[in-house]
Amino acid sequence: MSAGLKICIVGSGPAGMYAAGAIVKKSPESAKDIIDKLATPYGLVRAGVAPDHQTTKAVTRAYDKVMENENVRFVGNIGLGSDIPLEKLREFYDVVVIATGTPKDRRLGIPGEDKDGVFGAQVFVYWYNGHPEFCDAVPNLDIDTAIVIGNGNVALDVARILMRTEDEMMQSDLAEHAARQIFQSPLQTVHVVGRRAPENAQFSSKELSEFAELTSATTYTDKAILPDGFTSEDKKQEKVVNTNLDLLRSFEQIRPGIKGRSIYLDFLASPVEILGGDTITGVRFERNKIVDGKAYSTGETYVIDCQLLVSCIGYEMGILEGLPVEKGIIKNDEGRVAEGLYVVGWAKRGPSGTIGTNRIDSQNVVDRMLADFAGGGNPAKLGPAGLDAWCREKDIHSVSFDDWKKIDAAEVARGGEASPRKKFVRTRDMLSLLKEKG
């Protein structure tokens, strides 16, 4: 039964790691290489999850166990497309599982989106989390007002990180370059703007409740638009929404006007134009109303002046040669893309759900893949030996799991007592460290 398959998983985020874990259980003897374009594993757990949410990041302990399995290898610092084409991976391995996530910001699609001071969430979050490709994104935070577009947890993360004080960020792993900018910023006001009603917001109650605890900012919302209560056939959803509505009602009473910094949670508005010359100076919004659960413009417009906009409206797949992309995801039939080619995680179903959502999803795709290969793989495939030869030939300095453990230990040591880790944000510094350590 599927003995001795040679499998390459592209991407070491949650979806890739849950896929690897499922294969370890169900086809232990298969050779599993997990490649990642970064020298560091675990995708958005390192580069997306907010730096002040360290308990969420503890999920990596389970991923470490998978990585330590004798038939699993982490091969970091090798990008699909940039370092190796898909066709080569398919030539080397019986199965390639794409787990790249959705690495591109969805655009707002309004005039002015390319002005300085306008960022997608991916860029902004990767910047403050020290992702090597975005550590030079450098937003100007010498500003008084920021607008965050979106009504999901990522929008809340961005607003909260902008408003947290240095004391509040102790014990976080906020990248050093971002900490310098954020703590010195004279920022006074953040508007978080969603196009639908408060009861439609995708916030989780835990994330929303953190706004009641901020020590230097008060959160406001227009109470006139809050419904008395919310009912739904989905009782779980009903509970979350009612808790959120209670939170929205309570914020000002909990922390009235602390030090004058403000967060406004605005609803029922869509950005229609970004104003300014080369640099953003404001955003024109259109007021919305909800009809049959959908947001429609009322025609009324208004402007909020600002110097920074972060758009948190979701992500999509970029172009990767050989992969059919449709509606922002890799076109697939329950995870199957083509013979020997599968997809899991956000690349498969789009950017929704929590880390845990990827577990069942990846397990299902692995079941399907193992059933497809019940007759076994092709013994002529080179598997890991083919990848190693490719890296040697192309002079690619791949990073193993042992290498990552050295980087990890060095980051933790650099963090000292103040922080769980001080991240390296440049791959070249990680590679230099590995050279030093031998």
Ligand X SMILES: Cc1cc2nc3c(=O)[nH]c(=O)nc-3n(C[C@H](O)[C@H](O)[C@H](O)COP(=O)(O)OP(=O)(O)OC[C@H]3O[C@@H](n4cnc5c(N)ncnc54)[C@H](O)[C@@H]3O)c2cc1C
11 binding ligand X? (CB under 6 A): yes
Burial label, 354 (beta-carbon count in 10 A; 0-12, 13-18, 19+) = exposed
CB of 282 to ligand X, least distance (A): 25
Give the pairing type, strands 294-305 and 280-291. Answer: antiparallel
One of 21, 22, 33, 48 touching ligand X (CB under 6 A): 48
Q: Which residue is nearest to ligand X (CB)?
A: 13
Specify whether the CB–CB gap between 66 and 42 falls below 8 A: no
Shorter beta-carbon distance to ligand X: residue 80 or 295 = 80
Q: Sheet holding 294-305: strands in order across?
A: 269-276, 280-291, 294-305
Closest CA to 193 of 147, 125, 124: 147
13 binding ligand X? (CB under 6 A): yes
d(CA 124, CA 126): 5
99 binding ligand X? (CB under 6 A): yes
Shorter beta-carbon distance to ligand X: residue 197 or 430 = 430
Strand-pair partners of 66: none
Shorter beta-carbon distance to ligand X: residue 156 or 304 = 156
Binding mask 79-98 for ligand X (x = CB under 6 A): xxx-----------------
Burial label, 353 (beta-carbon count in 10 A; 0-12, 13-18, 19+) = middle
CB of 53 to ligand X, least distance (A): 5
Binding segment for ligand X (CB under 6 A), chosen from 31-39, 262-270, 276-284, 324-332, is 31-39
CB of 168 to ligand X, least distance (A): 17
Specify whether the CB–CB gap between 319 and 325 falls below 8 A: yes
Angle at 133 between CA 395 and CA 271, to 5 degrees: 150
One of 276, 328, 353, 415 touching ligand X (CB under 6 A): 353
One of 38, 148, 179, 396 touching ligand X (CB under 6 A): 38
d(CA 56, CA 59): 6
One of 8, 9, 14, 51 touching ligand X (CB under 6 A): 14
Binding segment for ligand X (CB under 6 A), chosen from 73-81, 144-152, 191-199, 270-278, is 73-81
What the block records as the tokens of 285 is: 């919004």
Shorter beta-carbon distance to ligand X: residue 35 or 248 = 35
Kindly list the residues in this chain that would bind ligand X in the complex (CB under 6 A): 10-16, 35-38, 43-44, 48-49, 53, 56, 79-81, 99-101, 103, 125, 154, 157, 345-347, 353-355, 358
